[in-house]
Structures are given as C-alpha cells and as structure tokens.
Amino acid sequence: MTTAGQAPGQAQANLIAIPRDWAYDFLLFTHRNPKPCPVLDVLDAGETVSALKQDADVRTHAPRYRIWENGELKAEPENATDYWRDDLVTFLIGCSFTFETALTNAGVPLRHVDQGKNVSMYVTDIQCRPAGRLHGPMVVSMRWIPESLVDMAHKVTALMPSVHGAPVGAGDPRMLGIEDIDAPDFGDAVEHEPGDVPVFWACGVTPQAVLMKSRPPFAITHAPGQMFVTDMPDFAYRVG
Amino acid sequence: MTTAGQAPGQAQANLIAIPRDWAYDFLLFTHRNPKPCPVLDVLDAGETVSALKQDADVRTHAPRYRIWENGELKAEPENATDYWRDDLVTFLIGCSFTFETALTNAGVPLRHVDQGKNVSMYVTDIQCRPAGRLHGPMVVSMRWIPESLVDMAHKVTALMPSVHGAPVGAGDPRMLGIEDIDAPDFGDAVEHEPGDVPVFWACGVTPQAVLMKSRPPFAITHAPGQMFVTDMPDFAYRVG
C-alpha cells in the first residue's frame, strides 16, 4: 500500500540496505548526487533501528520491500527479516512525500492523493555522477500542478533540500527523456486537470535504478511509494 | 594568510585528506554532523583536482596546510605536495566565509574583516555524533553582530545550509562551553562594538578537533581560516 497522503506532517524516507563492502561507494554516490539522494540517516552495519523511528525495525516498518541480487529484483516481501544479513548498512533517504503537506498548506493540489494513487515516477536520461562502482540514471517523481501554482510549488519545495528540494524540471517531459507521461516506470499514472503542468522532482527511487545498472551482489530496498514513515516532523527538513 | 574577506562572491572550503581506510568513517561522520561538516566535494583516492576548482591542485591551492600524525600537528607547510600519499581521499567542506558576502549585502557588518583578522573559532562542549572510529567536539566560528541584526544574520545564513546554515547559538558563550571569548582556540580574537552580540556558527574546523581526539594515523588539512577558495559562486549554495 502506498504511503502517499499517509501520516501528514511526518517525514517519509526511501530505504536501501547494501553490504558493508559497497557502503562507501553508496555514501559517496549520495554526496555526489544530493538532489535524488539526500541522506537522512545511515545505520551501522547490522543495525536495524534508526534514530528517526526508534520503535520500529527497518526490516518490517515499510509496507513492502524489494530484494535485489546482482541488480535483479528477486522478491517483494512485506517483511524483509528473512533476507537480512548482518553486513548490511541501511540508508534512509529523503522522500518527496515529506513536502506534500507543505504543498497542501500552500494551496497546491495533489492529484495523486486526491485519486488515491501512488505518485508517478520515471527513469530519466539524466546520468547521475558516478561513485566507485555505482552509476545509473536519475529517477524523478512527477506531480500535475496548475500552471498558476508552479512557482509556488517551486518556492515551497526549494526550502526543503533534504527531501529533494526544488523541481529539476517542469513542462515538456522529453527534456528529461521521458517518452510517455502516461506510462510511469514506477507508481501509478495520474489523471490531470486542464491547465495542469507536469512538474518533476529528483526521486529517492534513483538508488534502485542504480542497483539495476551497477549490479551489486545484494541489496534490500523499500518498494517505490511504500515508504519508511519516520517520527520526524516534516518541518525539521525545512530550512529558513 | 587568512582568506577571510578574500574572493568575495566565491565559495570557500575547508579541506581534509585522509587515508582511504578511514574515508568511510569520515564520510559517515559528515553525514551524521551536517551542520559542522557539509560536504561540497569528495575526490577519489589519490585524485588532486576538485570539480569545484579545476585549474588548481588541492595540495597547493590553500595558503597553508596542516600535517597530522596520530592526531598530532606535525607541520604547517604552504605546500602539501611533499606529504602527499596516493591513498588519500580529499574532502572539501563548506566554509562560513562563503556566506559573508550575503551578510554584507544584507547590511550586517563583519568585524573581523574590517579589522583585517581571521574569524574567531572555539572548541565547544557539544559532542558530535560519532561515526566508526571518529568522534570529537564541534568547533564553532563566532562573529560579533549588532543585536538588531542578529535576526537578519540568522535569516540570511539559514538559507545556506551547505556552508553551515543558521547559527547554532547566540549570546552567552558558556552555553557552548566557551570560557573566554577573547581567547579563541583557532583564528584571532576580534574587537567588538557596544551592543554587539556573539553569534556562533558550526565550523568546518571541526574535523581537525576530531583528528586530535580520534587520532587516525595520518591526515592533511588546510590551516584554519586559510581556505581552499573555489570557483563556485557563493549563491550556488543558497537555497530558495
């Protein structure tokens, strides 16, 4: 079940757990690609509780997980405990669902939430800056936004860089290499209203696109849109 | 020679080069302590040119370096080339000098620049969040600011989280464990005007305090206040 529109006011996070041997490359990747990969927390190898949600286990708290072997999706369990390894380092990465309460408060409608859907996500032709063995394209989330509110959406989200910040583009999807806006690579296609413009934000599913390209031997992630909901207030990630 | 007040409009950076074996701990430390250690660039092991200053060598471009062995300061050369090792990973970390042009533009006077001095820096009793083998206290920089402009200074710098962002405190230095405001641990003591309040920002010299406490076998850093001046415009590090 998608967590879009759930737990308003609480920060949500993308999750990736990767073997210790790959953790430096991944941490460096996040530094070199802060728009798609703003890190909120890094656990020690084998650790299963994050400071951002102290009463939960990172292996069970997200609604659904993905198990990856050599860059291929092997399973999508609701509970990742059976797949856990003590050499896994878990990263929590900012999620754009975290700025949705701020958008709502600013009068920006959320079409996917109104329609009870997951947000639309697309693999772009923007290549991330590589780090060690890790490389791959940027993934973006897209929200249909009334043209008159695009500036407002930019202004609101720019102040929240830890949850992807300002959009990376708005308007023609082809500028990001997206051929068909109605066929997202992850999440749901979302209906739009007349006058809506597609607005694109860097997305924390990017590490999953990187896994597919870079093929580390093993990883656990959340399923796109089925996030790790933290106890952190979303305003903790607002600057200024 | 301090770079305070030099190269207005260009971002300045703290520098630390640490053996590859320690790089993961350090990168994790920066993630867990983003106020003192906002990372601007990470070079690959052995690499000596940063994307932020492509026509310079990281071993020679800062006015002065510090050579560390087992947490002890061994030398302060103007050129670090003789000390270079190919397993060193260089990190560039945001510097508060980068927001000084924005402060000036907002009408906030810079006492240290007016007096031709380095900024005052202090080791506090705030312990950073440890990462692996690395631990130690936070270092802060201090600027005397007219009481009526403290809010403005907060507002201006909060929008620049990559160069330390909003102050970590203002007013009584003892709340940070600073006993004598006139005896900084790094940099110069700075004269103040009547009505000035000391305002404290997390400082990129923190890694040097961490080196002293955690005692990795080897490291090269810049000398405090003698920064690596980049070609990046300072507004690149402003959000919103």
Q: Where are the alpha helices (DSSP H) in chain A?
A: 20-32, 100-105, 111-114, 150-158, 206-214
User: 3-state class of A64 per DSSP?
Assistant: coil
Q: What digits encode the pLDDT tens for the residues A180-190?
A: 999 999 999 99
User: 3-state class of A153 per DSSP?
Assistant: helix
Domain boundaries, chain B: 10-237
Contact B239 A161 (CB under 8 A): yes
Chain B residues touching A30 at Cβ < 8 A: 31
What integer pLDDT is reported at residue B239 of this predicted model?
A: 86
**Residue A240: pLDDT above 80?**
no
**Residue A153: pLDDT above 80?**
yes
Q: How confident is the model at residue A10 (pLDDT cuts 50, 70, 90)?
A: very high
Contact A240 B27 (CB under 8 A): no
Question: Which chain B residue has the Cα nearest residue A240?
Answer: B158
Chain A residues touching B30 at Cβ < 8 A: 31
CA B41 remoteness from chain centre: 14
Q: What digits encode the pLDDT tens for the residues A37-61?
A: 999 999 999 999 999 999 999 999 9
Distance from CA of A83 to the nearest CA of B (A): 25
* Distance of alpha carbon B72 from alpha carbon B216, whole angstroms: 10
Q: How many A-B residue pairs are in contact by the CB < 8 A criterion?
A: 41
Question: Which chain A residue has the Cα nearest residue B156?
Answer: A240
What integer pLDDT is reported at residue B240 of this predicted model?
A: 65
- Closest partner residue to B240 (CB to CB) among A23, A28, A240 is A240
Are the beta carbons of B188 and B141 closer than 8 angstroms?
Answer: no
CA A117 to each of CA A111, A113, A209, A214: distance values in angstroms, whole numbers, following the listed order:
8, 6, 22, 30
Chain A residues touching B240 at Cβ < 8 A: 155, 158-159, 239-240
- Closest partner residue to A23 (CB to CB) among B24, B158, B161 is B24
* Distance of alpha carbon A158 from alpha carbon A148, whole angstroms: 17
Which positions in chain A have a beta carbon within 8 angstroms of at least one beta carbon in chain B? 23-24, 27-28, 30-32, 39, 42, 155, 158-159, 161, 165-166, 239-240
**Residue A1: pLDDT above 90?**
no
Tracing tokens 């949705």 back to the chain, one arrives at A100
What integer pLDDT is reported at residue B2 of this predicted model?
A: 93
The enclosing H or E element of A42 equals strand A39-42
**Residue closest to B92 by CA, chosen among B164, B43, B160, B142:** B43
Best probe of the B interface among A25, A31, A164, by most B CBs < 10 A, is: A31
What integer pLDDT is reported at residue B1 of this predicted model?
A: 84
Chain B residues touching A165 at Cβ < 8 A: 239
Q: What digits encode the pLDDT tens for the residues A103-122?
A: 999 999 999 999 999 999 99
Residues of chain B with pLDDT under 50: none
Question: Which chain B residue has the Cα nearest residue A133?
Answer: B44
**Residue A209: pLDDT above 70?**
yes
Contact A239 B159 (CB under 8 A): yes
Tracing tokens 């900024």 back to the chain, one arrives at B119
Q: Are strands A218-222 and A65-69 parallel, antiparallel or unpaired?
A: antiparallel
SS3 for chain B, per residue?
CCCCCCCCCEEEEEEEEEEHHHHHHHHHHHHHCCCCCCEEEECCCCCCCECCECCCCCCCCCCCEEEEECCEEEECCCCCHHHCCCCEEEEEEECHHHHHHHHHHCCCCCHHHHCCCCCEEEEEEEECCCECCECCEEEEEEEEEEHHHHHHHHHHHHCCHHHCCCCCEECCHHHHCCCCCCCCCEECCCCCCCCEEEEEEECCCHHHHHHHHHCCCEEEEEECCECEEEEEEHHHHCCC
Q: Which class is B10-237 in CATH? A: alpha beta
What integer pLDDT is reported at residue A111 of this predicted model?
A: 98
Contact B239 A23 (CB under 8 A): no
User: 3-state class of A229 per DSSP?
Assistant: strand
Q: What digits encode the pLDDT tens for the residues A55-93?
A: 999 999 999 999 999 999 999 999 999 999 999 999 999
Which positions in chain B have a beta carbon within 8 angstroms of at least one beta carbon in chain A? 23-24, 27-28, 30-32, 39, 42, 155, 158-159, 161, 165-166, 239-240
Report chain A's mean pLDDT, rounded to a whole number. 96
What value does the CA radius of gyration of chain B take, rounded to a whole number of Å?
17
Token pair of B24 as six digits? 């993961």
Q: Within a 13 Å sphere around the CA of A88, how many CA atoms are in the beta-carbon half?
A: 26
CA A18 to each of CA A43, A73, A83, A186, B43: distance values in angstroms, whole numbers, following the listed order:
11, 14, 12, 21, 22
What integer pLDDT is reported at residue B155 of this predicted model?
A: 94
What integer pLDDT is reported at residue A239 of this predicted model?
A: 86
- Closest partner residue to A24 (CB to CB) among B23, B158, B239 is B23
What value does the CA radius of gyration of chain A take, rounded to a whole number of Å?
17
User: 3-state class of A118 per DSSP?
Assistant: coil
Q: Which amino acid is at A21?
A: D
What integer pLDDT is reported at residue B16 of this predicted model?
A: 98
Stretch A123-137: mean pLDDT, rounded?
A: 97
Are the beta carbons of A155 and A231 closer than 8 angstroms?
Answer: no
- Closest partner residue to B27 (CB to CB) among A27, A239, A240 is A27
